[in-house]
Amino acid sequence: MTALEQTAAPGRPAWMQTAWILMRLSALLLVPMVWIHVLIQDVLVGVHHIDLDYVAMRWASLGWRAYDAALLCFAFAHGVNGLRQVLEDYIHGPRARRVLRILLFLFWLAVTLLGGAAVIGGARS
């Protein structure tokens, strides 16, 4: 049995396999996208050359805005789902897991909306 078939084991909700597949598909996109983002901003530009004007200049290009929006969607969802998997290794009760999933979903939603509003609204000076 392959790992993909194992995720569809009977008694397991369908969204788990969807989440499992999304983890791997988002990861394939994330590897080049995050590496390029980190290479440009952390290594080549560096935090000492980043300020409000730099963000405004970058977001003047619709392409970079879309790039950052995509990073926000894929990277943060991938990370929060990963955190869910880690915590569910230690939290086993069905009630506790339900509470955990609701809390993590709200955390994901709040931070994504915050970041999404900024990407759409843009830098103000």
| The one-letter amino acid at 3 | A
Other Cβ atoms closer than 10 A to 13: 8
- H or E element that contains 31: helix 14-38
With binding defined as CB under 8 A, does residue 100 bind other proteins?
no
Among 86, 99, 102, 103, binds other proteins (CB under 8 A): 86
Binding footprint of other proteins, residue count (CB under 8 A): 43
Among 9, 50, 99, 103, binds other proteins (CB under 8 A): 50
Among 40, 60, 102, 114, binds other proteins (CB under 8 A): 114
